[in-house]
A and B are shown apart, each in its own frame.
Chain A
């Protein structure tokens, strides 16, 4: 029996009528066949559909919905576009899902102060689209930026290739409107560089939806750099490529992005999209510099020289905006390309100190061999933020188990090298079991104390992030129990 079963009885018709009165008929989805769409996010290994989906249009509706649930002590799971990769939007003991996608208005643009106020269901890329003609951009750029929402980015503290130079979501969110799990609406931070009192915005960003629902946010936008130089460097193997990354950074150059793709990914992308990557390469780096037009050629020459000195067989400079766009398209569509290689894949997310990249890539290779799984690598090399993509077939229970085990082994190695369990995907349900590798019981208690400041009954996205020894919820992956 799914854990939701025991809550389903609480969803009496009285509640559904009340929610319908608050948000309207079209805001409610209750038929099991329609709810199946929401049974997982981008972490597809585990599935569990909600009993009810509600899609509010405003802060006021969200507040009234959460208050109605709070009175009945019913837990909920917030969801943006469902592109998250750690099961953050997977219902685990939360019968009601609240989807923010209909709150999708850009509320105000203040170019003079470089602020944009948006509702949380606004798609990431739409923020940049709204200001790019004026010469501005919103810096965090996850690969899913054409679909993922600002609310989801705030929950997961999302990154992306250009966070190497510009920082992650937490560095660009200045204020939020937060609906607490009891329905109370609070304004945290605002349009200023610094808030007043404790930095609660900093605590809400990255809290993985466990402190309530963000319905609005004030974002900082940045001036678009004058120019870019985007290079593709080809290497015989991943080891050489990662050494080139360290050499570039050691030279005091801070690129906008340094991305790596290994052999498996290069071939997958080439087969799928024919973008002109060197199909026989062991690894490629996409290196992007940005800044003043008059100085970039000099920096680009330095980077190309360092790359060649590190063993690059070829370094190609994108000649125009079309070539640059093609390289980024190849990078951002890598995940889609991998989808052609196997019925399923799990995108892992770990971090090591940049200088340990060659070591962790050797571990990943060994883990792939040990479990008999193909693993590709496409990742943010400049940050030491790896993304092994583990291919498997969900129809084979043994392969699902192997994929989970392989992921766990790679993460354990990351932590042993002084790294972290996640650079940008979050803990969700996926990595709860590994949290004690990184944090002591006291650390986890302090984190729980913080969460309960916002949500004393743990009704918002329960059973995520913090593991509870000895307590497990079974989800639909074969023989997989989530250690809540």
Chain B
């Protein structure tokens, strides 16, 4: 994992807080989410909001590792934590995978899906964050916490 705090924001509107790269290894996710949590504490983000952001990040990174990179640790995932001019948290996770279509994702709350052991990650991200955009065919997710 490498870190670079000098990233510039999109159109100059975002200030970079973290720019990390991690191998597509599920064991590497905890390090990133813990780093993010520590940064959010330094920013004075309240605990409830911090937990929601951390879980959304956890899910986005897990999707990138498992689905985007098929858990191939030779592949790399990029994570960016930024803040916009209104103080909102902006997070971007990018993977080199083939992407996916939101239309193919089932609703995990359907009765026949309740006991499934997978399929809740994207749903959770959308519930936990205030705004979520899947871009570049699903290989990049950008999410906002107001």
Q: Do A and B come from one complex?
A: no
Q: List the interface of chain A (C-beta within 8 A of B).
A: none
Q: List the interface of chain B (C-beta within 8 A of A).
A: none
